[in-house]
Amino acid sequence: MQEIEDLAGLDAVLASPGPLTGLRFQDLDLTGHEAPVLARTDLEGLVVLGGRVSADLAQHLRQHGALVFPTDPGVPVNPYRATLYQPHELYAGLSENGYDATPDALAYHWSRDGDSHHDAFVTLLRAIHDDSMSDALSEV
């Protein structure tokens, strides 16, 4: 299994003769690569984790055996993010709005929200985010 985490990696796999079977596309904007992906049918087992995917492309991917994980605009983090957060991202708005309005605080409160602990989708998103951050940390 190979994770593709940036557009350069995506360009490389799309240019290669190898199948896309079993690859993981993590948080990629596929809008500029729609035509070459729509031309492929070797998609069985491909997993698309978030990113930007048109409805037509998502349908094509699913029809050919790929699994497409949706984004959730109600979540204060990008669960599929492939890189670690920078301090300026975590504490954006601190001086204007205080800590409770920062992405760091919103993410912490989301991770501890008791009402959503029994929501299977939220639990899945939290687990994916935790794994994404662990993976990014191991690459440092």
Per-chain mean pLDDT for the chain: 93
Residue 70 DSSP class: P
User: For a pLDDT cut of 70, what percent of the chain falls above it?
Assistant: 100
Average pLDDT over residues 45-62: 96
CA distance 56 to 54: 5
The side-by-side arrangement of strands in the sheet containing 24-26 is: 3-4, 24-26, 47-49, 67-69
Strands (DSSP E) contained in 1-140 are: 3-4, 24-26, 47-49, 67-69
Tell whether the model's pLDDT for residue 116 goes beyond 80.
Answer: no
Instruction: Give the angle 34-22-84 at the CA atoms, nearest 5°.
Output: 75
**Model pTM?**
0.85
- Tell me the pLDDT band of 1, cut-offs 50, 70 and 90: confident
Nearest to 126 by CA among 73, 75, 52: 75
* pLDDT tens for each residue of 2-19: 999 999 999 999 999 999
Tell whether the model's pLDDT for residue 79 goes beyond 90.
Answer: yes
